[in-house]
Amino acid sequence: MASLRAAWAVMTGADWSAAVHAVFRDKAIRQIGTVPDAGLTRLLELCTADNAMRVMTLTREDEGVGLVTGAWFGGERAALLMQSSGVGNVINALSLPSIMKAPCLMLVTMRGQWGEANSWQVPMGQATPGVLEAMGVTCYPVDRAEDVGEAVSAAADMAFKAGVPVAVLIGQRVIGSKAFEAGTDKTADSGEGAL
C-alpha cells in the first residue's frame, strides 16, 4: 500500500521531488551541483541515494555554472540546483553557456514570493526572473506541484538539445512559505520552506 500511495503521489504531482528525480534519471543527468535549499531537500536526498548521480555541494552557486559547463565539455549532463537568492551569485558565470552555446539546466526554488515572511528574501526573489532573462536564460515559472516534473523535462530537452541555459523557477506556492515564530527554537514551516 505504501508503494501504491507513493506511486499515486508521483502521478498526481503531489510528490514533485520524485517526479523531478525520475526526469533526471530519464535525461541521464549525472552531475548535480547545489547550494541546498529547504525546498530541495527531498529531491537532493533522492539524487544522493541514486548511484547514477553525483551530488556536489558548492560554496557558491556560480561554481555550478562552471561545473555544468565542464561536464558538457566532457560529455556528461549536469544540473545546478539552488535557491533564488543564489541566482544573484551566478550572473557573470552565465556568460559561459551564452558564449559557448552550451546547455545549462538550472532548478531554482523561489523565495521572496508567495507569502514570504522574511523581508530579506524579497529583493533577490523578486528580481530573479529579470536577472536570469537579462543574461539570456529562458525561464519556466511553475506554481503547481503537478507541473514541476513536466517543466523540468521540457527544460532539460531545451537545454541539452538547443544548447542554451534554461531555469525552472519552482514557485514558493509549491514549496510552501514559512512562518517565523519568535520565541520558538526553530522556525515553523507551513510547507517545506526554511531560511
Coil/strand/helix, residue 179: strand
User: Least Å distance between CB 191 and other proteins?
Assistant: 29
Q: Are the beta carbons of 110 and 171 closer than 8 angstroms?
A: yes
> Judged by CB under 8 A, which of 100, 134, 179, 188 binds other proteins?
100
C-alpha cell of residue 89: 551569485
Residues 19-58 that bind other proteins (CB under 8 A): 30-31, 33, 54, 56-58
> Judged by CB under 8 A, which of 68, 82, 155, 168 binds other proteins?
68
User: Least Å distance between CB 141 and other proteins?
Assistant: 27
- Following CA atoms 38, 40, 45, 46 in sequence, which dihedral angle do they give, to the nearest 10 degrees? 150
Q: Which stretch binds other proteins (CB under 8 A): 3-11, 16-24, 92-100, 183-191?
A: 92-100
User: Least Å distance between CB 123 and other proteins?
Assistant: 23
The verdict on 144 binding other proteins (CB under 8 A) reads no
Element (H, E) at 107: strand 104-109
Residue written as grid cell 519568535 = 182
> Judged by CB under 8 A, which of 7, 95, 134, 136 binds other proteins?
95
User: Least Å distance between CB 151 and other proteins?
Assistant: 22
> Judged by CB under 8 A, which of 3, 101, 182, 184 binds other proteins?
101
Helical segments of 36-189, H only: 41-48, 61-73, 84-87, 95-100, 122-134, 145-162, 172-175
What is the DSSP pairing of strand 188-189 with strand 178-179?
Answer: antiparallel
Pick from 170, 167, 168, 159: nearest CA to 69: 159
The verdict on 96 binding other proteins (CB under 8 A) reads yes
The verdict on 76 binding other proteins (CB under 8 A) reads yes
C-alpha cell of residue 120: 530579506
Name the residues that contact other proteins, by CB under 8 A: 30-31, 33, 54, 56-60, 62-76, 78, 92-93, 95-96, 99-102, 160-161
